[in-house]
Amino acid sequence: MAADVLDLIRAKAAIDNLRTYFDETLPRPYSGRRFEALAGGVDRPTTRNKITADDLVAVRMLSVTVPAEAAIGLLEGELGEQISGLLAQIPTDIELGTDRAKDLVADGQAADQAWHLLDDQTGIDYVIAGKIMARKRPHLIPVYDQVIGCLYGKPDKVWLRLHQRLAADRGELRDELALLRARTGIPTTISLLRVLDVVLWMHHQQPHLRTGSCPSFGSVALD
């Protein structure tokens, strides 16, 4: 039987792993620690609805690279204008698991349209598309890659599934994530979704088998 995601959040290892990930003093710190915060993140009114070079650098901190032609399109072309128009329809202050979030991550809405538009670009896959969206709307869109997908068992409609889990039991999971963030002393500006992502990724990155089948596939339940 798959473990509930709360089990990993409440484990002592979660505190240690989260502190380690965001530790600026390590000889080789994790570059992803600055993913949300780099160059002001989403708090800059002038850039919250456009893709910037800073965003592409931030995405690179999570070990993916936006191909050159796609980057040109995002920074100076029609693709960037289309994404900006969609981002303008997505609030920056709505958190997944709270009121209004369900509609924002529903199929066919602006976030879904933007993700598909990015995913359709040559050299951009679902992981890169998701990381770009998570950079622009970190409280609403989760980072989702092969490691996290493996733990969840690669469910359909992961944004909606995660929203439902975060909203369940009067937001118990959200409360636990906030408590974990406070206990580790990392900045409160780091989103709850990023706390969850880091805990799961640190838990599974080493044992995850990048080729073949992973023995931990589907070992964390969202339901």
214: phi then psi, degrees, rounded to nearest 5: -95, 130
Residue with tokens 């690669």: 154
**pLDDT score at 32:** 97
How many Å apart are CA 129 and CA 127, to the nearest integer? 5
**pLDDT score at 211:** 60
**Tens place of pLDDT for every residue, the chain, 223 residues?**
688 999 999 999 999 999 999 999 999 999 999 999 999 988 888 999 999 999 999 999 999 999 999 999 999 999 999 999 999 999 999 999 999 999 999 999 999 999 999 999 999 999 999 999 999 999 999 999 999 999 999 999 999 999 999 999 999 999 999 999 999 999 999 999 999 999 999 999 888 866 667 888 889 988 8
Which pTM value belongs to this model?
0.96
* Contacts (Cβ under 8 Å, ≥6 apart) of 78: none
Beta strands in 93-150 (DSSP E): none
How many Å apart are CA 141 and CA 216, to the nearest integer? 24
**pLDDT score at 2:** 82
How many Å apart are CA 42 and CA 200, to the nearest integer? 23
**pLDDT score at 210:** 65
